[in-house]
Amino acid sequence: MAAKRKRGALAAGKAKRARSAPSAGEAVPEGGPRERSVPPQEYSIPPPVSQGKWKNKERVLIFSSRGINFRTRHLMQDLRTLMPHSKADTKMDRKDQLFVINEVCEMKNCNKCIFFEAKKKQDLYMWLSNTPQGPSAKFLVQNIHTLAELKMTGNCLRGSRPLLSFDPIFDREPHYALLKELFIQIFSTPQYHPKSQPFVDHVFTFTITDERIWFRNYQIIEEDASLVEIGPRFVLNLIKIFQGSFGGPTLYENPHYQSPNMHRRLIRLSVAAKFREKQQVKEVQKIKKKGTKVLVEEDPTEVVFETPAEEKPVEIQLVKPESKPIVKDKKKLRKIQRKKQKKLFRTEG
């Protein structure tokens, strides 16, 4: 029979073991057997401040209206793959007002939004908004090139966090400073996001040229720190900045913006002007042809080198010449001559 254990025996044994282990603050006697095993406390590394917690909970809703083409659809899908903190939704009907997007973002638990609006099946507009308070900006998207279309040599890890590079002009103008903060909050992936990777291997660049914002995506090569373009690429032409989300008072309006309708109208007018110019040139040429020709006076020096021809005596022919038969075919002419010769021979015989 095994001996019965007392109830407090196990707890007492653990307590004895805990007492026997020296604490970090207690002094160990010199020459003791445990003097070498205690690590020094001077070089201890403090824990990280964030402790791996996902604090910046930015979520971006990326969707579009109905009527977009295939290029816009691929661009929207490329942005979703590059931004792991994004969410998708079904296409919005054209009849719905834009302020309905705030309710959609609230249902999807998103505080930022990228909305693509298509008009006339050829013009594409992009809305960047901070829902539901604002501000929001409206852009005209031009020169779109997607990832599948470019076929660049660069590549990056899916879900990695990007670096954001801005042109120095963003810090000079107030409206560009507002757009810079909006771009930072939308395109930067939050740290320790569940779907992101703890690597930084590509750069989003925002450059201002010709009163437009040019977006490019580059890979960082570790060997020589050079950049290789990945894609996609597009150009944003700023239209307006609103105080609210998808509406409200206008904070800034771009004076250099020209609508696509006006651009197409100017092209048609230039073509019509060229056509009118050609017609006018043709009419002037017709008038010149119909006009009276100017007679040039005779030059008296032209007769200097002319030599008079020799005078021939005039011969008067009293007998009428025999009419020769006009025969085009030579064989018929020979037959007629033979018949005449035969008649002559008969008469002589």
What number of other Cβ atoms are within 10 A of residue 108's Cβ? 17
Tell me whether strands 202-209 and 212-220 are parallel, antiparallel or unpaired: antiparallel
Tell me whether strands 163-166 and 202-209 are parallel, antiparallel or unpaired: parallel
Of residues 178, 176, 163, the one with CA closest to residue 218: 163
Alpha carbons 216 and 143: distance in angstroms, whole number: 12
Alpha carbons 247 and 206: distance in angstroms, whole number: 25
pLDDT of residue 121: 86
Two tokens, residue 36? 């070498």
3-state secondary structure of 249: strand
Cis (ω within 30 of 0) for the bond into 46? Answer: no
Of residues 133, 193, 209, 207, the one with CA closest to residue 160: 193
pLDDT of residue 37: 54
3-state secondary structure of 110: coil
Beta bridge partners of 215: 206, 234
C-alpha separations of 37 from 29, 152, 308 in Å: 13, 56, 141
Per CATH, which fold does 60-263 belong to? Rossmann fold (3.40.50)
Tokens 């930015």 identify what position? 58
Burial of 61 (0-12, 13-18, 19+ CB in 10 A): buried
> Which residue ranges in the chain fall short of pLDDT 50?
1-3, 8-35
Percent of the chain whose predicted confidence (pLDDT) is above 90? 51
Concatenating the DSSP letter of every residue in 253-313 gives E-TT---HHHHHHHHHHHHHHHHHHHHHHHHHHHHHHHSPPPPPPPPGGGGTT--PPPPPP
Two tokens, residue 97? 């007002």
Neighbour-count burial for 238-270, b at 16+ CB within 10 Å, e otherwise: bbebbebbbeeeebbebeeeeebeeeeeeeeee
pLDDT tens per residue, range 154-172? 888 888 999 999 999 999 9
pLDDT of residue 294: 67
Alpha carbons 183 and 241: distance in angstroms, whole number: 13
Encoded amino acid at 14, one letter: K
Alpha carbons 216 and 231: distance in angstroms, whole number: 7
pLDDT tens per residue, range 21-46? 444 444 444 444 444 555 555 767 76
Of residues 91, 90, 93, 115, the one with CA closest to residue 102: 115
pLDDT of residue 187: 95
Alpha carbons 106 and 98: distance in angstroms, whole number: 14
C-alpha separations of 52 from 22, 283, 316 in Å: 32, 82, 134
pLDDT of residue 27: 47
